[in-house]
Structure 1
Amino acid sequence: MVMSEWSSAKTGTAVVIGVTALCALVTAGTEYAGALELRIGSFALVLLPLFFAFVITVVLNLSLSWRRPDAAAPIWSCAGQLLQLLTVVFVVRAGVVLGTALPTIAEAGPAILVQSLGKAGTALLAFPAALLLGFGRASIGATFSIGREPSIALVTERYGIAGPEGSGVLATYISGTLFGSLFFSVLAGIGSTIPLFSSTALAMACGVGSGGMTISCAGSLAHGSRDLPQDDILALATASDVLTYVTTVLLGAFVVLPVLERLYRSPTAVRNRLVSGDTVEPKAAVVPSRLVSGLAVTGLLFVTSGWRAAPGMLLLLALAFGVRMLGDRTGRFVPTVLWAALVGAVLTVPGLPWSATMLRVLSAVDLLTLATAVLSCVGLCVTIRQLRILRTLSWRAVVVTLLVFAGSFFTSALLAQIVLSLGGFTG
């Protein structure tokens, strides 16, 4: 028994080292290569390093998954553990931007609150399309929200993940994981060419409840924006992103799902129900502890950000550990992500005695580089089961997901622009 435990620990250490080294290498390489801008007339598509990092790790992950699913399972589990901590670090760092730009956010505050209601716009375009494409009841799960983690939890509680509604939300989640960064880069580029929308309204619309997609959208928007500084765009997107976690659950549970249930009862909509296509994945034999995960993330951040950012990285990690412990106690009522954003913001609110020092230390850690590290880790979390569910719904899932994203983005931007215009805000 002792020998078996020692062997398991040794294997776990090797997996953690391998995953950390791969993420660090991919992050450093893509950051060094920089962004790629593709221009088609007046439209510009900006592919950030985080997008390439995700694609590279997905390809490497899937090539191993098809050949050795037994070997891939520990990698999925390990990457998932590292991602949990790395995401909290990212949100704390994003909260720093939120705190420093509170004056800008306060000025556009009513618009941020109102635009968050636009997250219910996911179903406007996508639900009818999903019914026409034969999703059946899967259309409810696929279109009621942007389809991230809170959405999966809500569907699991209400319907069960094995039913058609579960297949729908997983299809949107997987399509968003695979193509979300690209989708929102495109949507940000399209939105910036529409004279109706200001950069302020579009920045608010970028907050979709997913760090990777939010930062991809905001980064693409900031790259081409001439009327709003990059930090303000990131701050507005971060504030909206945090609100989205709340509105997804509230609007989804009490507004959108009941409405879609009622709409689905029509005779035409009941046809062609889909099954979930669930399969059983190999169980991971090794799950790294929080201490090992912390050491791995520390090494990853040192490699990708450099020694000059060491004080800021260590502070972010300490804050992330504290936030996770707090979230473990209050997660049922206050999600960890809300605590993370709040802690980062409180440390850097202008006028507080410690804000200048904290801002100097934490700003040494580049937010976009941190986002690239997050996406490189996400790519190693995509599993065979997720791909099989996506294959069941085929290309239709991608079409519906794109409509979900477009409905959320443009509905939110429109509501934000209306409030901004009524308030005389021209930024």
Structure 2
Amino acid sequence: MSDEASTTPQAVPVHGGEADTTKRWFKPSAKQWTSMILLSAVICSAAILVGTYTIPLGKAAIVLQPVLWAVLMGAVIGVQRWKPLSGENRAVNSVLLNVSIVLFLAALGVGVGPSLGKLSTIGPAIVLQEVGHIFGTVILALPVAVALGLGKAAIGATWAIDRESYLAYALQKFGVKSPIYRGVFSVWLLGSVFGAVFISLLAGILGGLGIFDVRSLALGLGLGSGSMMIGGAAALTAIHPDQGAEILALAGLSNLVTNLVGFYAGVFVSMPISQRLYKFWSRLFRRNDDGHRLDSNGNAIVPATKRKEDNSDGLDVNAVIKDPEVAMGSKLWIMVFVASLAVGLLLNVLGTHKFAPTQITGILLLGVLTAIAFVLSKLMPNVPPSVWVLALATLVTAPFFPGSSVLVSITKDFNPLYVGLGSIAMLGLNIGRDVNALKTLNWRLIIIACITFTASFVAAAGLAQFVIHL
């Protein structure tokens, strides 16, 4: 997997365009588990040691911080050909990634709970920013996509930022050969590979300009993707270190709202509106469903180098390598959890330069919350672990919860950005799986994906800004 199940999931065809009915299972060796755990830990340790650098761009700034170093170093290792990672190693890495990113959200949630009282004053902004996520992409990105000639793929590429549940919905609703599905798939793929880096750079630039209240930008980071949220929050925290706790709390709470309602809003509101507006923009720009211009008689003006009729956007949805699946038993799950907790604690100590015996108790608490989230998700598959863990961690550390002060005291020294850094390195390591599909993307899809991510973030931040300063 390339990211956590960020909204209500269905059967997600993560490893290619078609549903995989013949999964290949395998049992990894101890060497495979050890090598991937150590590799991600070494990458993250190196990223922390490199540190944070800020490149001024007038009033704005590009913030280069451990999140960026981790994903870039992971990507270099993931795509190199000298000793490439096997599909089995990437499968092992994906299991570790799923646990690590939910552990990050547990660490994030225990910081949200104590802040609920303070955040209640901007409650309307938390709700309204979701409107920005829903409509920002449709209003801003869709007309550009139609004008550039994406055809009906424009709908899938701009109705949302297209995380895993959106991908599954588009496959089941429109089919693998549909241009709408290819649009969804392209934005999902680019977001999985480059989303954390892109949002990190964008948040750093906007955070340095001073146009937006940093709280508005933090709320805008509730994109429904844990990796994008990590990247953006890390950049904002580097620029505004004195507001780091508030930034993480707002981003976490916003992401929880997006996870709870975003998918349904996308399916029942955003998609129908996108389909209607697509017809309007197609008439205005005189484009047909293949993206070709129409002459005065309504006939398509087809370029000499005509693209394949069934793949007019140039994307091969089956080009993602299908890695095998890890056969997980209870002992393996325990090992994965123990390894994730140990690496999370190590990185937190290395990043914060603090260690106290209570942190051992604290990381165990985060592990328990993470485990409960996975169990609840198994019992109720329509709600992913990412939603459960953020809600649970927020609840048990809220001021009204009995004994919350004790739980807060043993987790107060954890910085979620370090606890979850391993998941970012693992995202980079898995890029090798997606390289073939990335090569089939044309420049139009890349531009539209960037506009989609930007529109969702900026529109949500803008609406939050309006409410906060109303």
TM-score tier by shorter-chain length is: 0.7 to 0.9
Q: Verify: 1:340 aligned to 2:377, yes or no.
A: no
Q: What amino acid does structure 2 have at the position aligned with 1:310?
A: I
State the Cα RMSD in Å: 2.4
Q: 2:459 aligns with which of 385, 402, 411?
A: 411
Distance 1:248 1:210 in 2: 11
CA contact 1:294–1:317 (8 Å) conserved in 2: yes
Distance 1:46 1:224 in 2: 8
Q: What amino acid does structure 2 have at the position aligned with 1:22?
A: L
For the residue of structure 2 that corresponds to 1:369, the secondary structure is helix
Task: Give 5+ residue unaligned stretches, structure 2.
Answer: 1-25, 292-311, 350-354
Distance 1:324 1:406 in 2: 31
Q: How much has 1:22 moved relative to structure 2?
A: 0.2
For the residue of structure 2 that corresponds to 1:101, the secondary structure is helix
Distance 1:319 1:242, change over 3 A: same
Q: 1:158 aligns with which of 137, 162, 173?
A: 173
Q: Verify: 1:372 aligned to 2:412, yes or no.
A: no
Q: Verify: 1:274 aligned to 2:313, yes or no.
A: yes
For the residue of structure 1 that corresponds to 2:56, the secondary structure is strand
Q: How much has 1:276 moved relative to structure 2?
A: 4.2
| Superimposed CA distance per residue, residues 290-339 of structure 1 (whole angstroms, 9 cap, x where no aligned partner) | 2332233234234423574322222211221111001111232x332221
Distance 1:282 1:191 in 2: 37
Distance 1:408 1:195 in 2: 19
Q: How much has 1:92 moved relative to structure 2?
A: 1.1
Distance 1:281 1:230, change over 3 A: closer
- Comparing 135-144 and 280-289, the one that deviates more: 280-289
Distance 2:440 2:32 in 1: 31
Distance 1:269 1:111, change over 3 A: farther
CA contact 1:54–1:375 (8 Å) conserved in 2: yes
Distance 2:108 2:392 in 1: 10
Query: Residue 143 of structure 1 corresponds to which residue in structure 2?
Result: 158
Distance 1:123 1:285 in 2: 36
Q: 2:364 aligns with which of 308, 314, 321?
A: 314
| Superimposed CA distance per residue, residues 77-96 of structure 1 (whole angstroms, 9 cap, x where no aligned partner) | 11111111112111111111
Query: Residue 4 of structure 2 corresponds to which residue in structure 1?
Result: none
Q: Verify: 1:188 aligned to 2:203, yes or no.
A: yes
Q: Aligned pair count? A: 408
Q: 2:265 aligns with which of 246, 251, 254?
A: 251
Q: How does the TM-score come out when normalised to structure 2?
A: 0.80
Distance 1:409 1:57, change over 3 A: same
Q: 1:29 aligns with which of 38, 43, 46?
A: 46
Distance 1:74 1:108 in 2: 46
Q: What amino acid does structure 2 have at the position aligned with 1:369?
A: Y
Distance 1:184 1:283, change over 3 A: closer
Q: What amino acid does structure 2 have at the position aligned with 1:26?
A: I
* Percent identity over paired residues: 28
For the residue of structure 1 that corresponds to 2:46, the secondary structure is helix
Q: How much has 1:39 moved relative to structure 2?
A: 1.2
Q: What amino acid does structure 2 have at the position aligned with 1:257?
A: M
CA contact 2:67–2:234 (8 Å) conserved in 1: no
Query: Residue 381 of structure 2 corresponds to which residue in structure 1?
Result: 331
Q: Verify: 1:81 aligned to 2:130, yes or no.
A: no
| Superimposed CA distance per residue, residues 378-404 of structure 1 (whole angstroms, 9 cap, x where no aligned partner) | 1223343x3333222233333112111
Q: 1:362 aligns with which of 411, 435, 440?
A: 411
Q: How much has 1:160 moved relative to structure 2?
A: 3.0
For the residue of structure 2 that corresponds to 1:46, the secondary structure is strand
Distance 1:74 1:208 in 2: 30
Q: What amino acid does structure 2 have at the position aligned with 1:367?
A: P
| Superimposed CA distance per residue, residues 82-130 of structure 1 (whole angstroms, 9 cap, x where no aligned partner) | 1111121111111111101102221100111011111121122222222
CA contact 1:53–1:375 (8 Å) conserved in 2: yes
Distance 1:260 1:18, change over 3 A: same
Greater fraction helix: 1
CA contact 2:151–2:287 (8 Å) conserved in 1: no
Task: Give 5+ residue unaligned stretches, structure 1.
Answer: 1-7, 423-427
Distance 1:87 1:359, change over 3 A: same
Q: How much has 1:181 moved relative to structure 2?
A: 2.6
